[in-house]
Copies of this chain bind each other. A is one copy, B any other.
Amino acid sequence: MQTLRRIPYYHQILSDMEQKGEQFVSSKYLAHFFHVDDTQVRKDVSVIGYKGKPKSGYSVSGLKGAIGDFLGINTENTAILIGVGRLGSALIEYPGLSEYGLKLVAVFDSNPVKQDKVIGGFTVLPMESLKRVIQSFDVGIAIITVPKNAAQGVCDLVVEQNIKAIWNFAPTQLSASADVTVRNENMAVGLALLSHYLKKRKAESAIFA
Interface residue ranges, A against B (CB under 8 Å)? 4-5, 7-9, 11-13, 16, 32-33, 35, 70-73, 75, 77, 86, 90, 94, 96-97, 99-102, 140-141, 148, 164-165, 167, 171-173, 175, 178, 181, 183-199, 201
Contact = CB atoms under 8 A, between A and B. Distances in A.
**Which 7 pairs of residues, A with B, have the shortest CB-CB distance?**
A72-B199, A8-B192, A8-B189, A72-B195, A183-B190, A181-B197, A100-B191
Contact of A140 (B71, B75, B198): B198
A32 B189 CA distance: 19
Nearest to A7: B192
Given A73-B192, A100-B191, A193-B8, A173 B90 contact: no
18 contacts: A7-B192, A8-B188, A12-B172, A12-B186, A32-B175, A35-B178, A70-B196, A71-B192, A71-B199, A73-B192, A86-B90, A96-B171, A100-B188, A100-B191, A101-B191, A101-B195, A164-B201, A181-B197
Contacts of A77: 194-195, 198
A73 B183 contact: no
Contacts of A173: 9, 12-13, 16, 33
A165 B194 contact: yes
A132 to B, nearest CB: 21
Contacts of A175: 32-33
A167 B190 contact: yes
Nearest to A164: B201
